[in-house]
A and B are shown apart, each in its own frame.
Chain A
C-alpha cells in the first residue's frame, strides 16, 4: 500500500515518515509568517497533530505538502489575529538576518511598526509576497484563495503601508 494511503488509514508509522519528510518545509513556512522560531515550533506541532487527526479526510491522490501548508497557514494566521502587533517584531529582531545598515534604526522600527499594524490577512499576503518574495500561486494555494485575491490583498496592504509611512514622514 502506498504511504499516503496508509496514512489515510491512520497508520502511525506512515505518518512519522511523512512528518520527517515535511517537518522542515512546514516549519520554514510558518516561521516566515509568524517570524518567531519558538511560536513556529509550537504551530508546526499543532499542524501535524491536526493533520493526523484529519487523516481519514485526506485524499491520497492530492499533495500532502500543499495540504500541510494550508493547515499551517491557517494556524499561523489565527496566531497573528490573537497576538498584539507590537510584540511580534520586538521578539524576533535579533533572530533575523541583519537588515540593510543604510536604513536608520529609527526608520526601520517605524516601518516594522507600520507593517505590524496591518490587518493579519493583509500582513500574511504582504509578508509572503513583498518580504519573502514567494510566488503568488504558492501564496494563493496556502491561503486557499484565488491569485486575484492575493493581488488585491497586496494592493490594499501596500496602500495602507504607504499611508502609514506618509503619516510617519517616511514617504511623501
Chain B
C-alpha cells in the first residue's frame, strides 16, 4: 500500500478499529456506588474500643494516672 496522507491514514485506522457507538452503562450504577461510599466510612475496630475501655477504667480506679496520660498526650 502507498503512503497515505494524514487524513487518509486516520480513515484507514477508523476502518480497522471502529469508533465506539454512543453507549450507556448496561445498568444503573448508583446502587453499587452508594454501597461503595457506605463501605468506605471510618471503621472502628474492636481493639480500639478495648483500648478506650482500659483508659476509662484506669482513670476511674487510679485518678493519678490522668496527669500521666495528659503529660503523654
Q: Write the residues of chain A forming the contact surface with B, with a CB cutoff of 8 angstroms.
A: 12, 16, 19-20, 23-24, 27-28, 31-32, 35, 37, 40-41, 44-45, 48-49, 52-53, 89, 96-100, 102-103, 107-108, 111-112, 115, 130-133, 158, 161-162, 170-172
Contact = CB atoms under 8 A, between A and B. Distances in A.
12 contacts: A37-B23, A41-B29, A44-B25, A45-B33, A45-B36, A89-B17, A96-B20, A97-B18, A115-B13, A131-B17, A133-B19, A170-B1
Interface of B: 1-4, 6, 9-10, 12-26, 29-30, 32-34, 36-37, 40
Contacts of A161: 9, 13
Given A23-B29, A115-B13, A158-B9, A32 B20 contact: yes
A58 B34 CA distance: 20
Contacts of B26: 37, 41
Nearest to B9: A158
A15 to B, nearest CB: 8
A170 B15 CA distance: 14
Nearest to A127: B17
A132 B20 contact: yes
A24 B40 contact: no
A23 B13 CA distance: 29
B25 to A, nearest CB: 5
Residue from B6, B19, B32, B37 whose CB has the most chain A CB atoms within 10 Å? B19
